[in-house]
Copies of this chain bind each other. A is one copy, B any other.
Amino acid sequence: MRQNIRFVPDNISVSVETGDNILSAAAAAGVYIPASCGGEGVCGKCRVQIEAGEVQSASTANLSEEDCLKGIRLACTSKALSNLVIRIPETVRADGKALKCRPKATSPISAKSLTALVGTWNTAPPIRKILLHLPPPDLDDNISDMQRLMRGIKHALPGHPEPYYDHPELLRELPFLLREAGWQVTVILLHGKRQDEPDTIIAVEASDTTDRLYGLACDIGTTTVCGALIDLNTGEIIAEASGYNAQIVYGADIISRIIYSLRDGGLKALQAKVVATLNTVIEDLCRKVTISPSDISYIMTAGNTVMAHLLLGISPKFIREAPYVPSLSLFPLTKAAALGIMAHPSVRIYLYPCVSSYVGGDIVAGIHACQMHRSKDLSLFIDIGTNGEIVVGNSEWLICAACSAGPAFEGGGIRFGMRASPGAIENCHIHPETLEPMIITIGNTLPKGICGSGLIAVVSELLATGIIDQRGKFSRDLAHPRVRRSGDGWEYVLVWSHDSLTGEDITITEIDLDNLIRAKGALFAGYQTLLASVGLTFSDLDRVILAGNFGAHIDLERAISIGLLPDLDRSRFFYLGNASLLGCRISLTDHRRFQERTEVRELMTNMELSENPDFMDYYIAALFLPHTDMGLFPSAGKAREDLAQQ
């Protein structure tokens, strides 16, 4: 249920869900409230007065009885239970004037705009069930059991070639199954790879089970494995689950995984870990809807090139060495059970093909999902993770590249960097006069680090408030307690030790800023190199598609303000979320869409940026906030002028 919160005296309103946190609501509305501890009432700074409506507050620490009677609460520990009028007290306002900071400009893609991008798809999956009523054998008709089954299938699907069968257990069980089922059976058929190729019999089940047909779509990420269970009779997602890729114990990024795979037994261990993760996800999914893993009749997955190699137990050794050659790029349709996956022994696992060593099946699936290969419009597809993968093109051509952006946006190379999980600073405002931060953490708990979206917010705010300059260097003459020089150089204290979970100051350093600038610079240089290679510029882009979990949480204005994304009309940006999972889901549901995957991959031309001299020039020019060429960032330029005029 939605509730309205009006913040007075400035009359700024925001709509939230019942139970939403009031500090987060204020941040989203653009109402600045000083808050250092992220949400456990420790710092006691985020005092607000409830003038109307009902809240639930977890803590009254730091509040006197008198405060409580006046309706004073700590915003960070309070949840909205009804429509509210909330006054930002003078004591708080005395921190400075009530600030209408810029609200987070996320515009999560609506169902309608998703359809505009992705198109519609049919529920006509690559697997299907057919019910057969077979005549029992007699002396005039004593063909073999398998021939009888085949004849039944031929009658049911006239004009189709005879399906394959290669599952030994099926052959062993069939004679008994047919007789026990009284010759009424349901056959699960998998479409051939090509149009003219025969189907394959996946399984034969006793009696009529046509109302139960399930498929698993799965994005196998370096960090996270996300699964969606699809009812293939309706095309609906009936359960979702995810889990951290258990390979993480052997290294956080693909390079360290490759290195581990070269050890004795390393490849096997990595395979076992990702399979174990998949099995956990499968178990979670099945438990949610009370089906058995063996009820899943097809598994469609996408992952980067290294993940695909490791899942299949194939060495990724040469991916890391120039000239960066994967062992495989088209992955064979494999029996999932043969890999150790909890599945019916004949069920196949499909892996989206990869383009190159660093542009993997997850990107192909993403492009496939958003139909760039079918649109005349020029699109830029960006998936920011450990690497940033970029694709530019339309229905006639697609060029793609991976930027070694480094894992800054996943918390890597950042002193207090962490993944987007509870306790991570995900949003931040800095008061332009007091230079005090308003800290919002995931889960509204005590802060312990900064995740990717928090990092973009912090850097953007540091730049907007003039605490850092465009080179990412701290202003040396601020004389503010939060801006200091430590043993590691200059830094800004986001959270004081007494307000942090770890009991130490959480800071952002000049080294962090340097890493971040390099990461966003590599990405931006990537966009430019790909566009320039075909004689185009940003202004030719009809749309920019942001994929990945990180992409779904990005603050567009701030990302543009630091030069991570190009400064284009905001209406051209689309958030696609986990595009890899979406691609798998669509392919699993619509066989015609699935068959397009070959065209997608064949259209994609890989470009190696690491050795490209243009890329290096663009990269050097992008090591600036937002960029050395301010002509590329008209709106950022205007914002800086506005700031200067204040």
* Residues of chain A whose beta carbon lies under 8 Å from any beta carbon of chain B: 137-139, 141-147, 164-166, 168, 171-172, 174-176, 179, 312-315, 317-318, 322-330, 332, 334, 338, 354, 356-357, 606, 608, 611
Which residues of B have CB within 8 Å of A357?
A: 142
- Pick the contact of A139: B175, B312, B322 (CB < 8 A): B322
Tell me which residues across on chain B come within 8 A of A146, comparing CB atoms: 327-330
Q: Which of chain B's residues have a CB closer than 8 A to the CB of A322? A: 139
Q: How many protomers of this protein does the assembly include?
A: 2
Interchain nearest-CB distance for A74 vs B (Å):
57
Would you call A147 and B312 a contact (CB within 8 A)?
Answer: no
Closest CB-CB distance, A124 to chain B, in whole Å?
A: 25
What residue in chain B is nearest A329 (Cβ atoms)?
Answer: B144
B332 and A174 within 8 A (CB): no
What would 21 A/B residue contacts be, using CB atoms closer than 8 Å? A137-B323, A139-B322, A139-B611, A142-B356, A143-B325, A143-B329, A144-B325, A144-B330, A145-B318, A145-B325, A145-B326, A146-B330, A147-B330, A164-B332, A165-B332, A166-B332, A168-B334, A172-B313, A172-B314, A174-B327, A176-B315
Q: How near does chain B come to A304, taking the closest CB pair, in angstroms?
A: 14
Residues of B within 8 A of A143 (CB): 325, 329
CB-based contact B313/A139 at 8 Å? no
| A332 CB contact (under 8 Å) in B137, B144, B171, B172 | B171
For A174, what are the chain B residues with a Cβ–Cβ distance below 8 Å? 327
In the bound complex, what is the Cα–Cα distance between A318 and B138 (angstroms)? 12
Assembly CA distance A45 to B424 (angstroms): 108
CA distance A488 to B338 in the complex (A): 61
In the assembly, what is the distance between CA of A63 and CA of B454, in Å?
114
Residue in A164, A171, A324, A606 whose Cβ sees the most chain B Cβ within 10 Å: A171
- Pick from B147, B315, B356: contact of A172, CB under 8 Å: B315
- When the two chains form their complex, are residues A144 and B323 in contact, meaning their CB atoms are under 8 A apart? no
Known pairs A139-B611, A171-B332; A144 contacts B312 (CB<8 A): no
Least Cβ distance of A484 to chain B in Å? Answer: 46
CA distance A166 to B326 in the complex (A): 18
| A318 surroundings in chain B (CB, below 8 A) | 145, 175, 179
CB neighbours of A334 from chain B (8 A): 168
Kindly list chain B residues whose C-beta atoms are within 8 Å of the C-beta of A608: 139, 142
Besides A142-B325, A142-B608, A175-B325, 4 other A-B contacts (C-beta < 8 A) = A144-B330, A147-B329, A166-B332, A175-B327
Please name all residues of chain B whose beta carbon is closer than 8 Å to the beta carbon of A326 when the two chains form the complex. Answer: 144-145
Provide the bound-state CA to CA distance between A147 and B354, in Å: 11
A330: which B residues are within 8 A, CB to CB?
144, 146-147
B139 touches A171 (CB 8 A): no
Known A357-B142, A608-B142; judge A325-B137 contact (CB<8 A).
yes
With A and B bound together, what is the CA distance between A329 and B137 in angstroms? Answer: 14
Give the chain B neighbours of A356 by CB distance below 8 A: 142
User: Cβ of B327 and Cβ of A138 under 8 Å apart?
Assistant: no
B139 contacts A328, CB within 8 Å? no
For A332, the chain B residues whose CB sits under 8 A away are 164-166, 171
Chain B proximity of A303: nearest CB distance (Å): 15
Least distance between A606 CB and chain B CB atoms (Å)? 8
A139 to B172 CA separation, bound complex (whole angstroms): 50
